[in-house]
């Protein structure tokens, strides 16, 4: 069974540009979460989606948005890129639960390394 | 102040040593996760626990709910155990609050 996949692996963008990052969860997983990891720090929560609905949003500006598709894959969009957006963006999936109770381990993708110049 | 605190930040050990990494959290949680991150970024979930103790191979994770404290132990450490170990807390959702990580280096 394939694990969580993310694309692209690496990306270089210029300040002010827009970027779309993609994530495909493990088959059968309905919950997808996005995290930003700046070099030397622990990951920070950006969004969680379950069954195509947003379940949680971290402390990130409105330049960050996401969505989940009917096949449970997800996109993270970042507009008006800043130098500080340079980071490893991680996607994690789990089966999820209808009542939000965390009952399952999360499985992480390899990440997309975004560099903003 | 981070809701999840880890210690130590850095740890070096000789092969074969017993290793302990500690994690404390500030409020009640639904579950505590231990994860491993290798250079290059990939994160692997090691344990998810809400009470007691779990063991997988040479790894043992314990949690004390009353003291809001968890430990990850590695027995008979090996150079391939070298990685960053991160604890993370989940509350009412799948959202994880991560600690800052412990960088472990095991030398032959």
Q: Is B3 on the interface with A (CB under 8 A)?
A: no
Alpha-carbon distance B79 to nearest alpha carbon in chain A (angstroms): 21
Contact B31, A106 (CB under 8 A): no
User: Is the distance from CB of B48 to CB of A95 less than 8 angstroms?
Assistant: no
State mean pLDDT over B7-24.
97
Cβ within 8 Å, pair B30-A101: yes
Q: Closest to A105 (Cβ–Cβ): which among B41, B48, B97?
A: B48
- For A56, phi then psi, to 5°, come to -165, 150
The pLDDT value recorded for residue B95 is 87
SS3 A55: strand
Q: In DSSP terms, which residues pair with B74 in a beta bridge? A: B19, B59
Mean pLDDT value across residues B71-92: 94
pLDDT reported for residue B86: 96
DSSP conformation letters of A70-86: TTS-EEEEE-S--GGG-
- How would residue B106 be classed by pLDDT, with cut points 50, 70 and 90? very high
Q: Is the pLDDT of residue B2 over 70?
A: no
Mean of per-residue pLDDT scores for chain A: 94
Q: Are A89 and A35 in contact (CB under 8 A)?
A: yes
| B60 shares contact with chain A (CB less than 8 Å) | no
Q: Which regions of chain A are under pLDDT 50?
A: none
Please check whether residue A50 touches B, CB under 8 A: yes
Look at A100 and B94 and tell me if their CB atoms are within 8 Å: yes
The encoded tokens of residue A106 equal 């999360």
Query: pLDDT category, B3, cuts 50, 70, 90?
Result: confident
- Among B94, B98, B99, B103, the strongest candidate for a mutation testing the A interface, having the largest count of A CBs within 10 A, is B94
* Cβ–Cβ contact B83 with A under 8 A: no
Give the per-residue pLDDT at A1: 62
| Range B41-45 average pLDDT | 88
């Amino acid at each position: 069974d394939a694990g969580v996949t993310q694309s692209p692996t690496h990306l270089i963008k210029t300040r002010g540009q827009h970027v779309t990052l993609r994530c495909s969860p493990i088959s059968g997983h309905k919950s997808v979460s996005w995290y930003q990891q700046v070099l030397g720090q622990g990951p920070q929560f950006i969004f969680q989606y379950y069954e195509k609905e947003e379940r949680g949003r971290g402390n990130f500006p409105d330049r960050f948005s996401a969505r989940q598709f009917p096949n449970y894959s997800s996109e993270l969009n970042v507009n008006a890129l800043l130098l500080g957006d340079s980071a490893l963006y991680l996607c994690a999936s789990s089966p999820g639960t209808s009542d939000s109770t965390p009952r399952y381990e999360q499985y992480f993708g390899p990440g997309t390394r975004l560099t903003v110049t | 102040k981070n809701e999840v605190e880890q210690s130590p930040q850095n740890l070096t050990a000789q092969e074969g040593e017993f290793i302990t990494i500690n994690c404390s959290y500030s409020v009640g949680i639904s579950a505590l996760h231990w994860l491993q991150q290798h250079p290059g970024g990939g994160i692997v979930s090691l344990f998810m626990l809400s009470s007691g103790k779990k063991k997988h191979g040479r790894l043992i994770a314990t949690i004390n709910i009353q003291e809001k404290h968890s430990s990850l132990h590695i027995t008979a450490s090996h150079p391939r155990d070298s990685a960053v170990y991160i604890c993370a807390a989940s509350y009412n959702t799948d959202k994880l609050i991560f600690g800052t990580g412990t960088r472990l280096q095991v030398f032959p």
